[in-house]
Structure 1
């Protein structure tokens, strides 16, 4: 995972927490405001149950208060960071276009079988919609532009980097492989016969495979580079000879036998020469820049961010 991808994952987790807390607080405030309107008095005792255990309830007010106590400071800092970054971008006349967001999302999706798979993982693992992922991507790009504003990278620096890291910019082939691993060759032969008779590969993997990493995923090993050192070479060599959808086995392993299916092939596009040089220029500039957290702190101070109370009462 690259430096930018690590930053995005960390950032979307924070964003997810922010969404949970702020939506929960909104649920609290709206009924209270509605109840108070017209009556001319503030309502403070609203406590809708959200869960029950051992005959006792947990109110939504208690739930939200716990969320605020645990995450309130981080949420507030994140809100201040966003306001400071957008204020600085406006001051510097720095913008991020929809096309730039699209290109960055395409880059982030490059390790996934499809765009749908990427967004499903964002939704399932972090609860983020497409719009929320796009918004956080825009923020990260804006932060990068501010961080690298005024930093110079020479053509000779780019040339040297490309020479030293030539392999990083070659097209790479990855294979989407599924595997059923068993102890005995006779078991592998039996599985091959079932597959020939129309059995579903994923169901057989869940039923028979002794590989704990993949059996619950229908045997899926994920996207694997053709020279992946962590995958047994007999599996890689067998997969190389298959067309998508093809099955091969039994494959002898050190501790058993495998039947594999090639479920997809992806060949990365390193981009045009201009795109590659632009990416390297940005990377080298980021290496010279201060860290993201330092920049956000500087901007908060610059725009006189002041926290009056980071654990507000419901």
Structure 2
């Protein structure tokens, strides 16, 4: 439903865990959960961006006792922080790192790569609804902590995984044409809205917030302080870019938003799928361009192939096993 919230969670976890990995002490070898029973007698070296980073063991040991926080008379050391973060999230982050290397190895062996124009096209699709690609990347940086290079890297690995998983699947031209004929609505220009909202339990609460907004208070700050929607309150009530008729969002809210001008605020709106009320602000709108025939064919061919492919999770486990992935700590 909220297209960026899951990504935000993943990015935050990965960023935090990378701190832990720099101070991890390597004491034993064990297989990833999916590789139990496949222990290697001579485990491979960790990837270059694996635990330890550029810090030497001596540097890590020297910094292990460094205090990073204090409460009362109790100090929390870097080693304590590292161990706790590693305990909570280390396996997931290491798996992600190993998977990227396994994808690189498999793609190289299969002669598959992602071209710059493919990356640019995917980024352009992701940025639909924003004024410019730069604005989209700025939002990714501010809200998700992702640099341009990190966004491009994640897109690259997603595209490589798609190429790997559909490489042996054949979709005929006739199947593509038939799908297009049966689903013409999918290829028409789409209206998209960039929305922020504040969710309240009662109409009285919403009216009070509307008065404060009229007095010039910040929408984002009020959303952070009072919105009941825990998924968006932390980002100022930002719902991101959504389709104007997205079935996963409240229809009463969308109907009001479709009729608003950019920067306009409306509310209270009695939500049709709950007993609550919301205040909504239209931050921007966009109408996507209609696909040309070639792009339409390419998109449908890939979609049909992905529908027939094995689950992505299964391919990930196969790649890790094939390339002998183990984790050392």
Q: TM-score, normalising length from structure 1? A: 0.70
Q: Distance in 2 between matches of 1:47 and 1:173?
A: 55
Q: What secondary structure does 1:135 align onto?
A: helix
Q: How far is the alpha carbon of 1:200 from its aligned partner?
A: 3.9
Q: CA deviation at 1:158?
A: 1.2
Alignment of 1:115-264 (within 5 A): 115-116=133-134, 118-176=136-194, 200=216, 202=218, 206=222, 223=241, 225-227=243-245, 230-231=249-250, 236=255, 239-240=258-259, 244=262, 263-264=283-284
The 2-side partners of 1:204 and 1:50 are apart by 31
Counterpart-to-counterpart distance in 2, 1:29 and 1:238: 50
Q: Residue 121 of structure 1: CA displacement?
A: 4.6
Unpaired runs of 5+ residues, structure 2, are: 25-50
Whole-angstrom CA distance in 2 between matches of 1:71 and 1:258: 35
Displacement, 1:71? 2.5
Out of 282, 286, 289, the residue aligned to residue 306 of structure 2 is 286
8 Å contact from structure 2 (residues 193, 285) kept in 1? yes
Structure 2 CA distance for aligned equivalents of residues 70 and 253 of structure 1: 38
Cα RMSD of the aligned pairs, angstroms, is: 4.6
Q: Which stretch of the first structure deviates more once superposed, 19-28 or 52-61? A: 19-28
Deviations 1:114-154 (A, max 9, x none): 54554345334543222112112111111111111121101
Q: CA deviation at 1:250?
A: 9.9
Is 2:220–2:235's contact at 8 Å kept on the other side of the alignment?
no
Once structures 1 and 2 are overlaid, which stretch shifts more, 211-220 or 108-117? Answer: 211-220
| 8 Å Cα contact 2:265-2:279 kept in structure 1 | yes
Match of 2:43 in 1: none
Is 1:267 the equivalent of 2:278?
no
Task: Indicate which of 122, 138, 154 corresponds to 1:104.
Answer: 122
Gaps of 5+ in 1: 36-42
Structure 2 residue matching 1:304: 3-state secondary structure: coil
Report if the CA contact (8 A) 1:235-1:251 is conserved: no
Q: For residue 174 of structure 1, report the CA deviation from its aligned partner.
A: 2.6
Out of 130-139 and 61-70, give the one that drifted further: 61-70
Task: Provide the secondary structure at the position in 1 that maps to 2:55.
Answer: helix
Considering only CA atoms, is the larger Rg found in Structure 1 or Structure 2? 1
SS in 2 for 1:161: helix
Q: If each structure's helix is expressed as a fraction of its own residues, which one has the higher value?
A: 1
Quote the Cα distance in structure 2 between the aligned partners of 1:79 and 1:217.
28
- Cα distance in structure 1, aligned partners of 2:220 and 2:53: 48
Question: Post-superposition shift, 1:265?
Answer: 2.2
